[in-house]
Amino acid sequence: MPSNTHILIIDDVVDNIQVAMNFLKEDNYEFSFATEGREALDLLEQSSVKFDLILLDIMMPGLGGFDVCQKLKENPLTKDIPVIFLTAKVDVDAISKGFSLGAVDYITKPFHADELLARVRMHIQLYHAKKLLQENNIALETKVKYEQVRLLTELEENQKQMIWMLTELMEATSDETGKHVRRVSEISALLAQYHPNLNDEDIDAVRFASPMHDIGKMTVPYQILHKPGRYTEEEFEQMKSHTTNAYNLLCCSDRKLMKAATIIAHEHHEKWNGKGYPRQLKGDEIHIYGRIVALADVFDALTHARCYKKNWAIEKVIDYIQDHRGTQFDPELVDIFMEHIDEFKAISEIS
């Protein structure tokens, strides 16, 4: 992380500011802080510092966190700075309002050191990556025509690198493993390869974007994500929010791979019969990329152990997929899966 990376912490409780700074000083960030919303806005307006991230308390006297966030996003000079809300309790309506105002994430208090560090690192790196992409876009417009192909290829490679970077960050805080992500990528690409209506561009999009399918889990509270037992109804609702949170995080990009990642992260828990989430899409309403990764993700998840379950025998998994043909899964994709089952089994054995 650059040594001049600067974080603004806004909280009316000085102890909370100090705790956050103590945890984050491990990464050598520079800090500014404010204990009131108006003070923070004045600081942003008058300071020459370029902030890379804002940690913003929701409940403050006077100008509250939601009002501060709205004013930040209305100001062209501050609208792109990522905002992470700090909240003492998980309130689904409040969190949804925060995302609708433009926040990128939320963290519950009291802070968990590893979670705070991981999320701050991720959003700062994503912010820097977005600025790099914007700079590349400006540079692209100034290049002569014969350089366009080279630059577009380079930009696509940057997207791939950014996707893998975000995937590695996800692994640091998620219940997923790197091998799961890579197997889902290969399974998805193979399904796309055998699909009669998809081309080489689709295959590449699915291969390189599918690792982002659970990127939204970085917005799920640490204690829920790593809970070994069954979720309560409220906890499950928070877990399900990783799909819409991922969409809110990624949807601003117009780049091919990021658009594919947005679709996949948003729709890979939809079901063919319309009983999935988050939007209860049905049949062909679900994008083919989402349908592909839905099958790939379940196949790999069932054939491998997790902290909360044992792996299933491969034949039991195959039976499950066949039994859910036309209910959970796209029937055509299940047929492709069964026709080439030995190839999919081979991928599942990668360890």
Q: Please determine, for residue 148, whether its predicted confidence score (pLDDT) is greater than 70.
A: no
In whole numbers, what is the pLDDT of the chain averaged over residues?
Answer: 87
Place of tokens 């039976």: 319
Say if 139 falls within a structural domain. no
pLDDT, tens only, 154-204: 555 666 666 666 666 665 555 455 588 889 999 999 999 999 999 999 999
Query: Is 31 strand, coil or helix?
Result: strand
Determine the Cα–Cα distance for residues 256 and 70; give it in Å rounded to an integer. Answer: 29
In a domain, 91, yes or no: yes
Domain end residue (candidates: 111, 135, 152) = 111
8 A C-beta contact, residue 189 and residue 295: no
Residues in the chain: 351
Does residue 32 fall inside a structural domain?
Answer: yes
φ, ψ for residue 196, nearest 5 deg: -65, -20
Please confirm, yes or no, whether 217 is among the known catalytic residues.
yes
Instruction: Summarize pLDDT for 310-348 with one digit per residue, the tens.
Output: 889 999 999 999 999 999 999 999 999 999 999 999 999
Q: Of 6-10, 207-211, 328-332, which range is least confident?
A: 207-211
pLDDT tops 90 at residue 134: no
Q: How far apart are CA 242 and CA 329, in angstroms?
A: 20
Q: What is the predicted pLDDT for the residue at 346?
A: 94
Q: What pLDDT is recorded for position 230?
A: 83
48 falls within a domain: yes
Which pTM value belongs to this model? 0.57
198 & 81 share domain: no
What CATH number does residue 221 fall under?
Answer: 1.10.3210.10
Task: Indicate if the pLDDT at residue 229 is higher than 70.
Answer: yes
pLDDT at 253: 78
Question: What is the distance between the alpha carbons of residues 267 and 245, in angstroms, rounded to a whole number?
Answer: 12
| Domain co-membership, 104 together with 193 | no
Of 150 and 180, the structure prediction assigns the larger pLDDT to 180
CATH at 22: 3.40.50.2300
Task: Examine the fold and report which residue of 82, 111, 140 is the final residue of a domain before the chain moves on.
Answer: 111
pLDDT value, residue 130: 83
Residue 1, in any domain of the structure: no
105-108 and 6-10: which strand pairing?
unpaired
Please check whether residues 294 and 212 belong to one and the same domain: yes
- Alpha-carbon distance of 85 to 44, in angstroms, equals 17
**Is there a single domain that holds both residue 207 and residue 295?**
yes
Q: Is the pLDDT of residue 292 over 60?
A: yes
**pLDDT mean over 5-10:** 95
Count of the separate structural domains present in the chain: 2
pLDDT band at 153 (very low <50, low <70, confident <90, very high): low
- My answer on whether 12 and 97 are in the same domain is yes
Pair (231, 308) in one structural domain: yes
Helix, strand or coil, per DSSP, at residue 61: coil
Domain co-membership, 75 together with 193: no
Q: Do residues 106 and 182 both lie within one domain?
A: no
- Stronger pLDDT, 128 or 269, i.e. the higher one: 269
Query: Quick one: average pLDDT of 216-244?
Result: 86
Domain membership flag for residue 196: yes
| Residues 209/327/307/268 CA torsion (nearest 10 deg) | 20
Q: Which residue has the higher pLDDT, 49 or 139?
A: 49
Tell me whether residue 125 is in a domain. Answer: no
Position with higher pLDDT, 141 vs 321: 321
Lowest mean per-residue pLDDT among 103-107, 221-225, 245-249, 334-338:
221-225
When mean pLDDT is compared across 120-124, 137-141, 226-230, the lowest value belongs to 137-141
Print the domain residue range for 43: 6-111
Q: Do 227 and 85 share a structural domain?
A: no
Residues 189 and 316 in one domain: yes
> Which domain-ending residue is among 111, 136, 156?
111
Question: Is 169 contained in some domain?
Answer: no
Residues 329, 186 share a domain:
yes
Q: What is residue 24's predicted lDDT score, i.e. its pLDDT?
A: 94
Cα four-point dihedral sign 127, 11, 248, 78: negative
For 143, the 3-state DSSP assignment is: coil
pLDDT band for 221, please (50, 70, 90 cuts).
confident
| The pLDDT value given to residue 138 | 64
* Chain centre distance of CA 45: 30
Q: 97, 217, 271, 309: which one is catalytic? A: 217
Contacts of residue 191, defined as CB under 8 A and 6 or more positions apart, other chains included, come to 206, 292, 295, 296, 333, 336, 337
| 125: enclosing H helix or E strand | helix 113-142
d(CA 219, CA 173): 10
62 pLDDT exceeds 70? yes
Looking at the structure, do residues 340 and 192 belong to the same domain, yes or no?
A: yes
- 8 A C-beta contact, residue 119 and residue 84: yes
